[in-house]
Every structure is written in structure tokens, then in C-alpha cells.
Structure 1
Amino acid sequence: MGFPTSVKDHPVVERAVRCLDDLGDPRLGETLVRCLDDTLARTIRALPDGTAFVVTGDIPAMWLRDSSTQMMPYLALLQEDTGLQELLLAVLRRQFRYIALDPYANAFNAEPDGHAHDPDDLCANPWVWEEKYEVDSLAFPLLLAHRFWAATGRTDHLAGALRTARTVIEVWRREQDHEGLSPYRFRRRDCPPGDTLAGEGRGTPVGRTGMTWSGFRPSDDACRYGYNVPANLCAAAALDGVAELAGAASDLELTVSASRLAAELRAATLRHGTVRHPEFGLIYAYEVDGLGNALLMDDANMPGLLSLPLVANVSPTDPVYLATRRFVLSPANPTWYRGSAAEGIGSPHTPDEHVWPIAIAVRGLTGTSRAERVAALRTLLATDAGTGQMHESFHKDDPGRFTRPWFSWANAMYAELALDVAQAGTRPLWDSTPR
């Protein structure tokens, strides 16, 4: 059976489009269908082994994080749709194989052809497009595996998921003592500072905190300080899911191991990853080093501080999150911009004064009212520069100045938000707010 290439006639999508049409702009539903169909028709490649390779869009490689987020909207469509279920299983199995090949890599090739972002990087594995170690690259496939199980009840991916989880736990445990135990190095020559690691590839110095170290952010930019706070909380949430999956498989040892590490990461992050801000009170830092340094900002990519309720099992009413949210959505955050076209969070990865559609969608999805989600959806539609697609970023005053004409992750976030507005999404279990 081939993988689906369109969901235009899917009952859930048809109901969502009708609901969005009631908001008075047919483009809302049309863009939902376009974004969902674009991912299916243009980014997915069936491989001979029955797995699926997923490009990010205009880059011919498969990112572990991006391919997970690209699949997330389809979780709401899985009931009685075996074609979509088989597609997500195929993506998960491909992700599990990649993690087994190199758990420190963030992006891979469809074949071992040696293609790479930079052929001079240290990594010589021909499967690896790029070996920027990011905690979230390991967390997101585990999140997807758990959410797939919760949505379908299927267990035919559990063996691979639990095998992968053991590998991930081993890496995250090792990277709790990066200075003493880690073999990982990343050096790139003749590049911007954010594209390589200091200290001969080891990264800037860190002290042991109980958090797990990350070389790079979800943006693929180097961490200034080695403990990325949202990535650690996202890892803890992924481990919560692993514990549930292991429980379903009666694997007591893995249940205990995952639960214990999740608790350690949360406790360490609350102790070392929070700071008291003179205006906002106790908030999460974006990065810390365990040596007294903290970076106060947010990045538009997920996991970021704004997205903690979506990817880290943090309640949207948690006082520390609410204080952090106020900081993130204010001029105190150096990556927050307000312009004539939109306001929102950007990233050091893209030009100054550029807002990310992903962050606009996240703001809506983590808001406490339907009106806020509808406003975010309308903003996304108004800033697509007439292309019918979401972009990586756009200038706050001119959406026609954008980066990446084809960025499937951003399309997926529009779809997530649109399905949520249409009451067809898969909201996290913590969320009891009215739709």
C-alpha cells in the first residue's frame, strides 16, 4: 500500500475546513489543506525497506526534529485511517534506524552517499548530513512515538521505540558529565561562530548540574552555554512518554530508568535553569552553564521557552512559565520584534527584525483563549506574502522579505493551529481550557 498523498477528502479535514470557513475567510481552510497535502506529496519518499524519508523542504536531508514536527498534525487524522498510520510508522522506523547509526547527528541522508552540509566536518559517516548534537533531536522522535501510541493504541512500533529509548538515555546520562565523559566534538572551519563549537569542538566550559548538555540549539546554532533549558524540559517530557510505553510493554527496568532521569532533569533545571528577573520575577533562562552564567532570551524554534506547554508537559498556568511567557513576549527578550506587519519571536539564526511563523503558531497554541488562537491564525495568513505557504521567517514590516520559500515545519505548525481552532487537534492532556 502506498502512502497517502492528500487529505483533502479526509472527514476530519473536511469538518475542520467547514469550521474555518465560518470565520469568514475561505483561505484559512484552503491553506490548511495546502499545507497538509504539500507535506504528503512533496516531502516524503518511500524507501525500499518500508521506511519513509522526509525532507525538511528546500534542504535535501531528513532532520530528526523536523520530520517529527512535520508528522504531528496528522495525529488528529489517524483514527480509522490506516494509510496515515502506516506512514507515521514508516517515519518512526526510519528515525529509529538513524539514531542507532549516530545518536549525535541531527540530519541524515536517504542513502549512505556521503552528502553533507559541509564535507570537511569531522563526521565521516556517509549516512550523516550533519552531526550537530542537539538534545531535542533525540527527544522529538520519542515524543512522536508516544503520541502515535496514544492516538492509535498500536504497539507494533514499541520494540523499536524502547530500543531507541535505551540509546537516548545512555547519551543523555553521558552528557550530564560532558567534560568528563563525552567523546563528542564538532569543528567546522571558515564559518560563522554559531556554526561551530568553541574549545576545540568541545563547547564552552560547563559545570555538572544534573542537566544534560547540548552542543547546538533547535535552530542548529551553537549553544552559548551548554545546558539548553527548554531542551532539557523537552527531554524530560519525552522520558515521561518512554516510561508509559515501557509500562505498556511490561519493561519495569526501562520504566524506572526513564522516570528517574526525567525527574533528575526537571529538578536540575528548576534549580540551575531559573533566574530572578527584576521585572518579571522567577523565569526560565534559555541557556545556563552551571558556572553562574545564564542567557536570557528565547528562540523561535521548538523546543523554546514559549513552547514548553506543547513539548515539555509544563502547564500553561504554571507561575514560572507565565512569568517566562511575559518576558519572552516583551522587548526584554532580545529576539522579540514588533512591526507594522506582525509581532513575535525571531532567532539569531535569521536576520534581525525577522519574525518566525512557527513562533506565531506556538503563541496561539499556548494561549488560553480561542480568540488568541484565531488571531494567530489570521496573522499567519496575512504574512505569507501571497504564496499560500509558511516561511522560516519574515521581516516584521514586510512579509515579502522572507527566508526559506519552502519550510515544511512551518507549514505543519499552521496546520496544527488551524486544526486546533477547528477543534480537531490533539491538544496536550494538560489543557482543559475552552476551545
Structure 2
Amino acid sequence: MAPFLSAASCPDYTAYARSFHGPASAGPLQLPFQRPTDICRTFKSKVIDNVIESIASKIANADLARLFTNSYPNTLDTTISQTSCLTPSDQCHPLSFIITGDINAMWLRDSVNQLLPYLNYASQDFSLKRLFLGAIYMQSHFISIDPYANAFHPPQDIQQWAKMQHPNPFEHQSRSPGSTPAVYEYKWEIDSLASFFSLSYQYWQHTEDDSFVDSPIWINAVEKVIQTLQNEQHGTFDPNTGQVLPVDEIFKQNTDRPTETQFQDGRGQPIQRTGMVRTLFRPSDDACVYPFFVPGNAMMSVELHHVSQLLQKKNATLADQAASLSKEIRDAIFKYAVVELPDHGKVFAYEVDGYGSQLIMDDANVPSLLSLPLLGFIDQNDTIYQNTRRLVLSKSNPYYYEGPNMAGIGGPHVPLNYAWPMSQIVRILTSDNDDEIKSTLDILLRSTDKTGLIHESVNVFKNSYSRSWFAWANGLFGQAILKINQEKPHLLT
């Protein structure tokens, strides 16, 4: 086991991120330098440091260069909590536990998105490559414990995970905090499992290493994911008898926030079978209103297709199951989740129930409707997507806000008028328009409240933000700068 931070010598980064550390950037915002000191960085990569130095030197705006320098390495600098065997070894079973930031737990979705900004460089740095592989194995173990859980506690001894015998996750139906010691949060979110597929596929694509596919723990996790998705495709009622069908996932708890529990005694609103997959929570960890969450299903359709490609040469039967399920979900989205609106034409709904009810909105968290091209579900020039994009980036979306401090999409996870910088980063990643990209970069620069970091959300009318330390959003910003540098370098010079 390899813990990197020493509480005795390194400050808590939550507080560190709120304080000014010099030297200030040379631009008018005079942004601080927010990377921890070298000894306190939780993972070190000379390759990534060289990338930071190279890209930052090309950015004419000194404040923008500083924001990139602070943000891009934030996951490696601050969130690699535990690792096992990242050094060369023929017998090694690498494992990586990655916290989300100011919460000492590993989310399946967040940890994947935290790592992805470095994937292009994994083959150039052996330890970085093993960090990715360790995350794939770590998530495989988590899913084997329970595919319905979205976040997990740190293991007491990470080396013991490779030897664990995991219980059958379908033996109990009602899940609540504390019901399984390894689980931090038991919210069924379809995008968590799609993220596991995404990490596996993208790692393979960038490194050509498919060694993990031969691992029983990875195959077991894939089988559990497909079983889970199939279990969650049925409707609420038996179509022949009208009886209520049993479900494998019920989530309810006593709370003063409606977004923290579910309708109908924990099973969610009634749904009719469509081919989409029922899920109870969104990537914001907020409860769905209608259980067919469209962006999550879109992401899962894409990643099932990807994993079918990954499996094709080694497990054709499982590959065919994944491909068939991918198509079924995709077809259902276009049949049940495309809505004609008087002022916007055909758009994608955010959530539907299969009976004709739909929720028209978007949330900042990815997967979102705004992110559909980024997910690979649809071309960004597609008419339905462009109609949807105009809607969700306007006051027609109840969670879109504009003010002197910030503009962007928020969501029910934070107060009204708090926009998430993440939504503006996704806007950059799904745009070819130079003016839109430049204006969005200006919005993001103004959003840091002089901390030099990307926050979870920002009040559009006054200097107030949530979470000084949110690694996913920081890495995503770095990813956007790398994309601009590759495709539109003139916007940085």
C-alpha cells in the first residue's frame, strides 16, 4: 500500500485551495499558484509536468496560463489516495484508489473523469499507465461488491482487495447508508457503470493493452453490469396481469432534501418498458424525477458498443449481448425521448417515463444533454442536438442562469442562481465556434473568485462558490485547453 500524503507535513488541500500562494500570475487577475509543494503532491509524473510547461508557455494570457497550470494536474496533485504496485512486476495486480477531492471516497464516475485528461500520455509514463490500470481493477472489485453503488470507502488495506470474495449483490433489495461497509453511497446511477466501461475502452484504445480483459475480476464485473442493465429494463407493471413487478434496487432514507431519496417507497415513479434502463439517480447524485434518465442511457448505449468491440476477440457471446443492448437503448431514446416543442422544434428530453411524460431541462453534471456529442452519442451538428443545445443554454432551461459573475447551467444539487463552470467547459468541448470558445474562456477566468481553480458552482450575482476543491472540473478544464491547443491554437496565442 502506498499512501502519498502525510498529515503531519502537508496541509489539508481544502483550506490550501482557498488561500493565496505566490507568485501571482502576471495578468490583471493576478491568480495564485495553487499546486501543492512537490513533497505534498500525491502522484508525480515528469511527462505531465512537461506537458503543463509546454502548453502554458504557448498561452498568451498569463491568467489563463496560470489557471491551466493549477487545474490540469489537480487530480494527480491532490487525489491519488492509495495505490498498490505501480512499479514493474510480472505478478503485479495494480490497484488505485482516487478520492473525488474534499470527500474521502471514490466515485466510479468521478474517478474516471478525473483520470481521463492524462490518458494521451499514459504510454509515455509507466507509473501513469499502471495508475489507469489500477483504477480499472479497483472499479472491477467495487462493481463485484455491488453494481448499484456509486461510491466506495477507502480500503483499509488496498492489497487485500485482489484476494477478496465478494457477496452476491442481488441478495438484498433495500440499500441504505451503512448497509455494506465498503460502500460509501448506494445511489443507483447508470452513468457510474457506463464510466467503468468508458475507462476500460479508452485505456485499451490509447495503450493497446487489453491484459485486464483476461482477468476474471474484470469479466465478472462486466457480466454484472450487463445483468444489472437487463434487470432494470422492465416496466413497473406486468403487462399481462397488471401486478407490480419486483425490482432489484430500492433506495429510501429519511432526509430533509427530496433529491436524496426516491418516490414510491424507494422504487421511483412508475415506468413503462421502452428498452431504456431505469435508474434512480443522476450524475449530480440527485434523485431522478422520471427513471429513464436520457443522457445516462445515451452514454451507456455508446459504452456498450465500445465494450463489445473490446470483447469481440475474447468473448464473442458477451460482446454480442453488449452490442444488442446498446442498439436497443439507442433505438428507445429516439423513439421515446425526442420531443417536439413549439419554440424549439425536436429536442431531447432530460428524463421520460415511457408513458408520455417528459422533463425538459438540463443539469450541469456529465452526462448531460449538452454533452451528448462529447459522449459520442450524436454528431454536434445534428439538428436535434443543436435544437437541444440552444434550449439548454437559454432561459428555456429552468437551471440556466446568467449574471455579472458567471453564466451557465446549474441544477437542484446546489441553490438557485449557482451555475457550474463544468457546463461552460462542456460548451467549449462541443463547439467549433471561435467566438463562443473565446467568450466562454473569459467566463471561466472570471469564475475562480481569485483562487485560480475551477469550482463546483458559482453564484452568478455575487462572489460565492461551492467546493474550493473539485478535481473533476479542474481536470476537465485542462482537457479543454489541450483540445484548443491541438485544434485551434490561435485562440491561445
TM value normalised by structure 2 = 0.80
Alignment partner, residue 308 of structure 2: 243
1:182-201 matches, cutoff 5 A: 182-201=247-266
Looking at structure 1, the residues matched to 246 and 208 of structure 2 have their Cα atoms a distance apart, in angstroms, of 38
Q: 2:56 aligns with which of 17, 21, 35?
A: 17
Alignment partner, residue 408 of structure 1: 471
Q: Shift of residue 66 of structure 1? A: 0.4
Q: Shift of residue 59 of structure 1? A: 0.9
Question: Is residue 67 of structure 2 the alignment partner of residue 31 of structure 1?
Answer: yes
Alignment partner, residue 117 of structure 2: 73
Is the CA contact 1:236–1:312 (under 8 Å) kept in the aligned structure 2?
A: no
Q: 1:284 aligns with which of 336, 348, 351?
A: 348
Looking at structure 1, the residues matched to 112 and 321 of structure 2 have their Cα atoms a distance apart, in angstroms, of 24
Give CA-to-partner distance per residue, 1:241-269, whole Å, 9 cap, x none. Answer: 1011012x332112211111010000001
Q: 1:127 aligns with which of 172, 182, 189?
A: 182
Alignment partner, residue 165 of structure 1: 222
Looking at structure 1, the residues matched to 126 and 405 of structure 2 have their Cα atoms a distance apart, in angstroms, of 41
Larger mean CA deviation between 277-286 and 1-10 belongs to: 1-10
1:17-96 matches, cutoff 5 A: 17-19=56-58, 21=59, 24-48=60-84, 50-96=94-140
Alignment partner, residue 379 of structure 2: 315
Looking at structure 2, the residues matched to 28 and 15 of structure 1 have their Cα atoms a distance apart, in angstroms, of 14
Give CA-to-partner distance per residue, 1:385-427, whole Å, 9 cap, x none. Answer: 11111111001122x20011111111111111111111189xx
Give CA-to-partner distance per residue, 1:282-330, whole Å, 9 cap, x none. Answer: 1100000112210000000000000011124311011111111111111
Q: Secondary structure at the match of 1:79?
A: helix
Looking at structure 2, the residues matched to 288 and 168 of structure 1 have their Cα atoms a distance apart, in angstroms, of 22
**TM superposition outliers: structure 1 runs of 4+ over 6 Å:** none
Q: Secondary structure at the match of 2:276?
A: coil
Question: Is residue 146 of structure 2 the alignment partner of residue 102 of structure 1?
Answer: yes
Q: Secondary structure at the match of 2:72?
A: helix
Alignment partner, residue 283 of structure 2: 218
Give CA-to-partner distance per residue, 1:348-399, whole Å, 9 cap, x none. Answer: 111101110110100010012344334323321221011111111001122x
Count how many residue pairs are aligned between Structure 1 and Structure 2: 414
Percent identical pairs in the alignment equals 36
2:189 partner amino acid: E
Give CA-to-partner distance per residue, 1:154-175, whole Å, 9 cap, x none. Answer: 1122235444222111111110
Is the CA contact 1:283–1:323 (under 8 Å) kept in the aligned structure 2?
A: yes
Question: Is residue 255 of structure 2 the alignment partner of residue 255 of structure 1?
Answer: no
1:301-312 matches, cutoff 5 A: 301-312=365-376
* C-alpha spacing 1:168/1:42, structure 2 compared with 1 (3 Å): same
Is the CA contact 2:428–2:440 (under 8 Å) kept in the aligned structure 1?
A: yes
1:89 partner amino acid: L
Give CA-to-partner distance per residue, 1:62-86, whole Å, 9 cap, x none. Answer: 1000001001100122232222111
Q: Shift of residue 215 of structure 1? A: 0.3
Looking at structure 2, the residues matched to 363 and 42 of structure 1 have their Cα atoms a distance apart, in angstroms, of 26
Q: Shift of residue 123 of structure 1? A: 5.4
Is the CA contact 2:255–2:261 (under 8 Å) kept in the aligned structure 1?
A: no
Bigger Rg over Cα? 2
Looking at structure 2, the residues matched to 408 and 230 of structure 1 have their Cα atoms a distance apart, in angstroms, of 22
Is the CA contact 2:95–2:134 (under 8 Å) kept in the aligned structure 1?
A: yes
Q: 2:200 aligns with which of 145, 153, 168?
A: 145
Query: Could you list the runs of 5+ residues in structure 2 that have no partner in the other structure?
Result: 3-41, 85-92, 158-174, 237-244, 489-493
Looking at structure 2, the residues matched to 176 and 9 of structure 1 have their Cα atoms a distance apart, in angstroms, of 42
Looking at structure 1, the residues matched to 221 and 414 of structure 2 have their Cα atoms a distance apart, in angstroms, of 32
Q: Shift of residue 338 of structure 1? A: 1.2
Query: Could you list the runs of 5+ residues in structure 1 that have no partner in the other structure?
Result: 114-119, 426-435
